[in-house]
Amino acid sequence: MSEKILEVNNLKTHFFINKGVVKAVDGVSFSINKGETLGIVGESGSGKSVTSSSVMRLIPTPPGKIVDGEILFKGENILNKSMDEFRKIRGNEIAMIFQEPMTSLNPVYTIGDQIAEAIQLHQGLDKKEALKKAVGMLEKVGIPAPEDRVHEHPHQLSGGMRQRVMIAMALSCNPELLIADEPTTALDVTIQAQILELMRELRDEFNTAIMLITHDLGVIAEVADKVAVMYGGRVVEQTDVKTLFKNPKHPYTAGLINSIPTLEGDSGRLEPIEGNVPDPFSFPEGCKFANRCPFATDECMTKEPQLEKAEKGHDVRCHRWENLDLKK
């Protein structure tokens, strides 16, 4: 078995606001091996971004707090580390790229300065060497004329270019784990494909493990090895990417897959999952998906299902998985 780079066990991140407690992430477990790509997929509000922010310890406290669980990075629980210790890992061994390339770069500094900053900090290079390395990184992520671009400011670059810069910045210290939070959501489709291709190439080159957060199963199908499907702050299904698409066992996963438009679709209409993710305060008592699930029974409404092992390497959180045939 290959080496685990990240292991998250029973992570609970809650937000304490005036109205009550929002259990944004409520008992999530998964692991990522070296060089592997884990896709975390779910609708808005499913807790996928909070999960990634928790791993980076970027949860705004207050109101947010990691109340339980452990996050093992190379076997060490990062939640037990002091912030000063963790800063040596953050941006160095674990790096992150964000959803909004348009706003994720500081407008008042050149992109070279911003990439060099992390290199100087973690690798102890001086400014000149760091800038040289930044040029090299820009070249790697496919930015033309990197020696000139390095002196430009973010507003002089397009969205796709900026996301490339973000990736260059994140990879500049050769991280072992890259967290990508919806890295392609804000981009045009053609640019999306380029960015995904780039991430794949860089993963192969540096053997970086990737935790890819997305709401887009198409992106998952492109790059992920394993998938965790999240709903209501929990993982509802977890398996490798092929099995997930061929043999989904959770009605929510099946719903997500069915709602992808296909070229050979005959009905001409998309099949959406009915309803919305409920307000965090009004989740059903039992299975959180029960009120939207076409197969829900009385048991589903009252009793919360546990994550069960359906097959080797395939976990599902559903009372009825054995009785449902969701295969396409």
Partner 1 sequence: MLTYIIRKSFMAVPILIGIATITFLLNFVFVPGDPVRIAMGNHGDPATIEMIREEMGLNDPLYIQYGRFVGNIFRGDLGISYTTRRPVFEMIMERLPATAMLAVSSMVIAILLGVTAGIISAIKPNSILDYLFMTGAMIGVSMPVYWLGLILIVIFAVNLNVLPVGGYGTFAHLVLPAIALGVRQAAHIARMTRSSMLEVIDKDYIKTARAKGLSEKVVVIKHALRNALIPVITVIGTQLGYLLGGTVLTEVTFSWPGVGRMAIDAVNRRDFPLIQGTVLFLAAIFIVVNLLVDLSYGVLDPRIRYD
Which stretches of the chain bind partner 1, using CB under 8 A?
56, 58, 84, 87-92, 95-96, 98, 100, 103-108, 117-118, 121-122, 153, 155, 166, 169
Q: How many residues would you count in the chain? A: 328
Cα distance between residue 291 and residue 274, in whole Å: 9
Rounded to 10 degrees, what is the CA torsion of 130, 131, 136, 142? 130
User: 156 or 262: whose CB is closer to partner 1?
Assistant: 156
Token couple for 36: 């592997």
User: 107 or 272: whose CB is closer to partner 1?
Assistant: 107
CB of 67 to partner 1, least distance (A): 21
Q: Which residues contact 98 (CB under 8 A, 6 or more apart)?
A: 104, 166, 181, 182, 183
CB of 106 to partner 1, least distance (A): 4
CB of 261 to partner 1, least distance (A): 30
Closest Cα to residue 226, out of 211, 216, 236, 214?
211
CB of 226 to partner 1, least distance (A): 23
User: 64 or 251: whose CB is closer to partner 1?
Assistant: 64
Burial group, residue 193, by CB count within 10 angstroms (0-12, 13-18, 19+):
middle
User: 55 or 290: whose CB is closer to partner 1?
Assistant: 55
Token couple for 38: 């884990």
User: Residue 278 carries which side chain, given as an amino acid letter?
Assistant: P
CB of 155 to partner 1, least distance (A): 5
User: 96 or 290: whose CB is closer to partner 1?
Assistant: 96
CB of 128 to partner 1, least distance (A): 19
CB of 29 to partner 1, least distance (A): 23
Closest Cα to residue 9, out of 23, 21, 20, 25?
25
Instruction: Say if strands 234-240 and 226-231 run parallel, antiparallel, or are unpaired.
Output: antiparallel
User: 141 or 254: whose CB is closer to partner 1?
Assistant: 141
Instruction: Say if strands 177-181 and 94-97 run parallel, antiparallel, or are unpaired.
Output: parallel
Q: DSSP letter at 230?
A: E
Cα distance between residue 178 and residue 162, in whole Å: 17
Cα distance between residue 288 and residue 275, in whole Å: 13
CB of 56 to partner 1, least distance (A): 6
User: 154 or 233: whose CB is closer to partner 1?
Assistant: 154
Token couple for 220: 């998952």
Residue with tokens 């076409």: 294
N-terminal to C-terminal alpha carbon distance within the chain: 31
List the helix and strand counts (H, then E) for the chain.
11, 12
User: 87 or 215: whose CB is closer to partner 1?
Assistant: 87
CB of 130 to partner 1, least distance (A): 12
User: 105 or 209: whose CB is closer to partner 1?
Assistant: 105
